[in-house]
Amino acid sequence: MSESTPTPAFKASHASRMVTLSLHAFTQLVRMKVFYFLAVFAVIVIGSNFFDMAQHQGPESVGANVLRNIKSWSLGAMALFAVVISIVATALLLPRDIEDRTLYTVLAKPVPRIDYLVGRLMGVLLLVFVSLAVMDLLMVAALHLRTGMVMEMQEKMAVGRGWPEEAIQSLKQETLASGVNWQLQAAVLAIFLKVAVMAAICLSVSTFSTSTLFTTVVSFLIFFIGHFQADALDFYLKGVEAGTSTFSQYLALGFSLFIPNFQLFNVVDGLVQNQPITLLMVGKLVMMACYYVLLYTLLAWWIFSDKEV
Amino acid sequence: MSSLRKIIVLLLVLLAFGALRLKFERQMLTEFRDAGLMREQNHLESRDRIDQTSSAVALGGLRTLVATFLNLRAHGYFERQAWNELQDTYETIVNLAPQTRYYWETGSWHMAYNAASYYLHESSRPPLRRKELWRSSILQGRYFLERGIGNNPRDWSLHASLGHMLRDPNKLPAMRDRDAALMAAHEAYDRSVELGCFSPMLNQRLSLYCLARVRGRESEALALARTLHEDPRHHKPTLLILLYVLEFDADPDQDAGALALRIFGDAKTAYEALAHHWRGNREGYPMDGVAQGLARMEGLLGIPPLQSILGQKLAPGFNPDDWFK
């Protein structure tokens, strides 16, 4: 061959690079066998079916406790698993990429560092999303089955007690409302949003951290401290009226400004107790989560931009 | 850029972005709290009561999860009849999950029914002490349920549960003011109907049954009984009896026999209903005209005076002093 055909220069877009990197991160994390925890989750969901308490009233109380148990235990387990997975997986990413030299290979190519960071973050979020989706499916299936069983038991008892048809229908409506509903999906979304913010924070910590352990510990600390942010702000605002010392007030204000407010995403409790949430509220939560994720990702990029690797 | 400058810029950015979000976040928190989706941070009280691990879990937005575990613990206390621990645990549970009807109802049920029954039959304590514990358990159960209503004013079931508790003849002697308790039960049933309970007709009748026992409210009760009586679906024995006694109370000079026949339709039905009411007077329903009505029905049915129900000794009314002898 005398003539060589010039290889067309492949110019990947930011998005395609990020997608490639995120899929790589996802595969890397899946290979660490993280999905084994789903077996534990399944046990929790099944277990929550067996803790029905003595009921003290009429048909309306039959199984009411067990439906709440399924929701409460499942969403609780989802939140805990998701937070742990997101922090540990994010904290592992950079050190692991350095250890197996993937980072050098990636950055040696014309890959902007922001693409690398966002791609890795997206990989973790994809992992969390898939995990939450599977857990959500398990919860919905268990809840759906159990709601049907509870309704059957309630109807039998109501008919036995001579309840009129309209009362039985109202009872069924109320039990259905305690079963599978879109509010539960809002709760799962709130967990995902909280975890996404946490992953972004963890990513920015990992850009200047010296070890995985340090990143993990600091991230968990921020996670717990973030739940006091609203308290600090209350202290600052009420302190002005109560005459608290200026130093304490500014300390509380500084705390409120630096630390993200994780309380905002704690709508799960209200949703488990069948409190309604509007689409607008969900939209605001999404917006706030995007704000945090964007801020911490940009900070991570800024720290990582001139870091020598 | 030097490390120091970098840290300073980082802090400034965080401060600026923090200031930007603060107002919006505060509005969101207020909106979510108003919608009942979240509440003020756990009270110090509940933080003290639960262990560190549970406290951390509750802080992480999983208060209902901690509440479900505490509910399991409370069930253990119930089985061991450890009433003080049970009450403490339910205080914590409702602090963590104040919008869950089940916890308010179960907590009050344990206090007002289970603990009260336990003290009623327990023999290791002196009678006066048992009586005081019995009374305070019932009052605690009532107070607990009323707090539940305060937290969930639109929950019909809590109102109905309060009505059930306050109209219970076994609980009434524990109340300081019997009439006030019955009036509260009447109002609770009415509220449960307004809020859309499952069985509005039943609760309307229960509301009447309470009002009819309140001294000095007979005319109100009669008006309600007449209204309910207009709907044939309400024609249950207790309602017919109460309509009879309230009508008689309003006009004691009227012919009891004619009134009984008008309300019950025939002498046999009237006799059975009035006799049942006569025997069941422990519940404290008014008895106006029942003796006269029975005498007339016995005459119509040809029941010999020796077999008259009016000659039978009536069961004594509820008196807690007898229970603790």
Question: Where is average pLDDT lowest: A23-27, A229-233, B26-30?
Answer: A229-233
B302: CB partners within 8 A, 6+ apart: none
Does the pLDDT at position B221 exceed 90?
yes
Query: Whole-number mean pLDDT of chain A?
Result: 84
Position B44 confidence tier, pLDDT thresholds 50, 70, 90: very low
Residue of B72, B78, B99 with shortest CB distance to A273? B99
Does the pLDDT at position A292 exceed 90?
yes
Give contacts of B157 with chain A, Cβ < 8 Å.
60
A273-291 pLDDT, tens per residue? 888 899 999 999 999 999 9
pLDDT, average across residues B266-270: 93
Listed residue (A231, A284, A224, A289) closest to A256, CA to CA: A231
Please report whether residue B227 resides in a domain: yes
Mutate to test the interface with A, among B65, B94, B201 (most CBs of A within 10 A): B65
Position A2 confidence tier, pLDDT thresholds 50, 70, 90: very low
Please report whether residue B284 resides in a domain: yes
pTM: 0.81
Find where tokens 């509820």 sit: B318
Determine the Cα–Cα distance for residues A65 and B68; give it in Å rounded to an integer: 9
Position B51 confidence tier, pLDDT thresholds 50, 70, 90: low
pLDDT, average across residues B224-235: 94
Determine the Cα–Cα distance for residues A126 and A22; give it in Å rounded to an integer: 8
Does the pLDDT at position B256 exceed 50?
yes
Q: Which residue has the higher pLDDT, A309 or A306?
A: A306
Contact B220, B207 (CB under 8 A): no
Concatenating the DSSP letter of every residue in B42-56 gives PPHHHHHHS-HHHHH
Running DSSP on this structure, what letter comes out for residue B115?
A: I
Please report whether residue B154 resides in a domain: no
Highest average pLDDT, of A190-204, A212-226, A255-269, B121-135, comes from: A190-204
- Are B38 and A276 inside 8 Å of each other by CB? no
Please report whether residue B48 resides in a domain: no
Residue B187 has which token pair? 């109002």
A31-64 pLDDT, tens per residue? 888 888 888 888 888 888 777 666 666 667 677 7
Residue of A nearest to B61 (CA): A266
Mutate to test the interface with B, among A219, A273, A307 (most CBs of B within 10 A): A273
Contact B38, A269 (CB under 8 A): yes
Does the pLDDT at position A4 exceed 60?
no
Does the pLDDT at position A270 exceed 90?
no
Residue B279 has which token pair? 């025997």
A63-76 pLDDT, tens per residue? 777 888 899 889 98
Q: Which residue has the higher pLDDT, A150 or B223?
A: B223
Does the pLDDT at position A1 exceed 50?
no
Q: Which domain holds residue B272?
A: 222-316
Determine the Cα–Cα distance for residues A206 and A212; give it in Å rounded to an integer: 8
Interface size, chain A vs chain B, as Cβ–Cβ contacts under 8 Å: 158
Query: Whole-number mean pLDDT of chain B?
Result: 87
Give contacts of A281 with chain B, Cβ < 8 Å.
28, 31-32, 35, 37
A181-205 pLDDT, tens per residue? 888 999 999 999 999 999 999 999 9
Query: H helices of chain B, where?
Result: 3-34, 44-49, 52-59, 63-80, 83-96, 101-109, 116-121, 127-151, 156-167, 178-194, 200-211, 218-229, 237-250, 256-264, 267-279, 290-301, 320-323
> What total number of domains does chain B contain?
1
B150-163 pLDDT, tens per residue? 999 999 999 999 99
C-alpha dist (Å) from residue B271 to A149, B250, B302, B303: 45, 21, 12, 11
